């Protein structure tokens, strides 16, 4: 697996600690939860690979904790919810809605500017009729 995926594993591990009332989960805590060693978790988070069985154990833990595995694995995950199922659907809808509103505002600004310029021309009677 890549360094990109490893960095996402770190993000989730740290968030899990906060969800459980701690500052962050350590690699040792994830190792304990999965039955792996801290060294294996360290290698995975640093993009240095590992056996598929170990990846599956870590992914299963994070999925059980409510994380969306697509967010971890997808190259461009900007439109993928970090959380799964119902929350993911709501997050995706909110994200798409926000992007559409942003585009609408951009179009509105351009058209309002153009309409304003046309209004000035008409009011100043600078058009040769």
Residue 90 has pLDDT above 60, yes or no: no
CB 92 within 8 Å of CB 82: no
User: What separation in angstroms does the CA of 128 have from each of 55, 113, 123, 125?
Assistant: 73, 22, 13, 8
pTM of the model: 0.61
Tell me: the pLDDT tens digits for 52-89?
A: 999 999 999 998 888 888 888 888 888 788 887 554 44
Query: What's the confidence (pLDDT) of residue 88?
Result: 46
Vertex 57: Cα angle to 25 and 78 (nearest 5): 70
Q: How far apart are CA 4 and CA 85, in angstroms?
A: 23
Place of tokens 């969800």: 19
Q: Exposed, middle or buried, 94 (CB in 10 Å: 0-12/13-18/19+)? A: exposed
pLDDT by residue (tens digit) across 18-62? 877 777 789 999 999 999 999 999 999 999 988 999 999 999 999
């Amino acid at each position: 697996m890549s360094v990109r995926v490893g960095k996402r594993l770190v993000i989730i591990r740290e968030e899990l600690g906060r969800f459980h009332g701690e500052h962050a989960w350590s690699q040792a805590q994830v190792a304990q939860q999965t039955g792996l060693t801290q060294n294996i978790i360290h290698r995975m988070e640093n993009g240095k690979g590992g056996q598929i069985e170990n990846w599956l154990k870590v992914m299963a833990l994070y999925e059980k904790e409510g994380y969306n595995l697509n967010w971890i694995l997808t190259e461009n995950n900007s439109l993928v919810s970090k959380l799964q199922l119902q929350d993911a659907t709501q997050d995706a809808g909110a994200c798409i809605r926000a992007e559409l509103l942003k585009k609408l505002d951009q179009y509105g600004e351009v058209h309002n500017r153009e309409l304003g310029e046309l209004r000035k021309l008409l009011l100043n009677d600078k058009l040769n009729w």
